[in-house]
């Protein structure tokens, strides 16, 4: 049994990490930023099927990535830290520093506190954004040996923030980490069943397909991982000695087309749930023209028609990780949104 701190407890991935850590018998503390945070965490854990006693056992610490206050108390007596919290802007910020600074400094703030408290291992939630962007098109799958070129094309501030924050983490542990071990998980787009209104930006894409907001899908491709499997990989990275000092891509398979995600939802959801899912594809020309006027289209313009192949072989072979099929994840995502009345 370990005492585990999970940062950003109300987050989509964090809640699943808490649930799985409790199921494995660990003691869990989590950080929240607002007074209603504990209630939101408890409600999400209950929705995930966690027992009342286990939900009640979770303890809370008030801490914010932008300030030092609270982190010493948050990490006290912890054996491990799962650092899942990170700023994710709803739109591309005018000043890249608004997202890059908090991501990098927040990560270092948590790692310093963990080191000073004698934490044995920290698992950082990075992203495939830190692996496969800013490079010329290639048929070779990206692996953990690759790093995003932050000066390359199509690298917007969020992608840069994940890359620079992860690089800072590795550099810190190498030079100043003392006895702190670091493992990193690099998820692709995180999908899966939602437990309430707190969910990933990837889920928003499915929501917009189901509610008709997206009337034609752009020519985008990306890989998918289920939030439950991403959480499982975090727990494996926390407990397996072979994970120390290594990165692990979390992907259930290779990149798939956005239009195939839409087709899967239409095929797998019953009744009227998928009635508004579009069948049309938005042309690349239309995206490029619309990008002149739409910040949302401008954010995806550089990725239209680009396929980034990805391999999660290391997680499978080193940690024995076995993610569920992508089609099941997408179907579970859509059903949960419909059942909770979120579309």
User: What is the rounded CA–CA span in Å between residue 232 and residue 238?
Assistant: 10
Backbone angles phi, psi at 52, to 5 degrees: -60, -40
Residue 120 contacts residue 181 (beta carbons within 8 Å) = yes
Is the pLDDT assigned to residue 90 strictly greater than 80? Answer: no
User: What is the rounded CA–CA span in Å between residue 259 and residue 257?
Assistant: 5
pLDDT attached to residue 296: 81
Residue 153 contacts residue 302 (beta carbons within 8 Å) = yes
Q: pLDDT tens digits for 109-151?
A: 999 999 999 999 999 999 999 999 999 989 999 999 999 999 9
Indicate which residue of 26, 109, 162, 236 is catalytic. 162
Is the pLDDT assigned to residue 281 strictly greater than 80? Answer: yes
Percent helix, percent strand, percent coil in the chain, to nearest 5:
45, 15, 40
Place of tokens 């890989």: 223
Q: CB atoms < 10 A from the CB of 84, how many?
A: 27
Told to judge if 162 belongs to the known catalytic residues of this protein, a careful annotator would answer yes
Please, what CATH class does the domain formed by 3-339 belong to? alpha beta
As a whole number, mean pLDDT of residues 55-81 equals 96
Q: How confident is the model at residue 180 (pLDDT cuts 50, 70, 90)?
A: very high
User: What is the rounded CA–CA span in Å between residue 104 and residue 68?
Assistant: 14
pTM over 0.85: yes
> What does pLDDT average to over the chain?
94
Q: pLDDT tens digits for 326-338?
A: 999 999 999 999 9
Q: How confident is the model at residue 87 (pLDDT cuts 50, 70, 90)?
A: low
Structure tokens at 163: 């890359």
Is the pLDDT assigned to residue 93 strictly greater than 70? Answer: no
Q: CB atoms < 10 A from the CB of 268, how many?
A: 16
Q: Which residues contact 173 (CB under 8 A, 6 or more apart)?
A: 111, 122, 180, 181, 182
Rg (CA), the chain: 19
Structure tokens at 270: 């019953």
As a whole number, mean pLDDT of residues 62-66 equals 93
Structure tokens at 152: 């390359």
Least Cα distance to 170 among 113, 108, 114 occurs for 108
Least Cα distance to 224 among 195, 246, 200, 247 occurs for 200
pLDDT attached to residue 86: 78
């Amino acid at each position: 049994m370990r005492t585990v701190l999970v940062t950003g407890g109300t987050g989509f991935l964090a809640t699943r990490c808490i649930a799985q850590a409790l199921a494995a018998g660990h003691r869990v503390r989590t950080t929240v930023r607002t007074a209603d945070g504990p209630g939101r965490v408890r409600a999400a854990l209950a929705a995930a099927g966690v027992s009342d006693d286990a939900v009640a056992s979770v303890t809370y610490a008030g801490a914010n990535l932008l300030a030092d206050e609270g982190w010493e108390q948050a990490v006290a007596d912890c054996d491990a830290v799962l650092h899942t919290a990170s700023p994710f802007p709803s739109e591309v910020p005018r000043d890249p520093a608004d997202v890059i600074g908090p991501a990098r400094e927040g990560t270092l703030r948590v790692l310093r506190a963990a080191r000073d408290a004698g934490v044995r291992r920290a698992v950082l939630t990075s992203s495939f954004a830190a692996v496969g962007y800013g490079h010329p098109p290639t048929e070779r799958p990206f692996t953990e040996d690759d790093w995003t070129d932050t000066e390359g094309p199509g690298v917007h501030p969020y992608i840069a923030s994940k890359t620079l924050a992860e690089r800072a983490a590795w550099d810190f542990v190498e030079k100043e980490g003392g006895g702190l071990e670091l493992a990193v998980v690099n998820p692709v787009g995180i999908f899966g069943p939602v437990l309430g209104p707190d969910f990933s930006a990837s889920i928003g894409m499915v929501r917009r397909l189901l509610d008709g907001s997206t009337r034609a899908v752009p020519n985008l491709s990306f890989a998918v991982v289920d939030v439950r499997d991403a959480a499982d990989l975090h727990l494996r990275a926390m407990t397996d000695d072979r994970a120390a000092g290594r990165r692990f891509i979390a992907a259930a398979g290779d990149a798939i087309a956005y239009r195939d995600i839409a087709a899967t939802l239409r095929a797998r959801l019953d009744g009227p749930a998928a009635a508004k899912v579009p069948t049309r594809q938005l042309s690349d020309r239309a995206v490029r023209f619309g990008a002149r006027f739409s910040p949302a289209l401008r954010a995806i313009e550089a990725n239209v028609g680009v396929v980034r192949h990805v391999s999660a072989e290391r997680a499978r072979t080193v940690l024995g990780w076995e993610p569920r099929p992508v089609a099941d994840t997408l179907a579970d995502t859509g059903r949960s949104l419909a059942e909770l009345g979120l579309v």
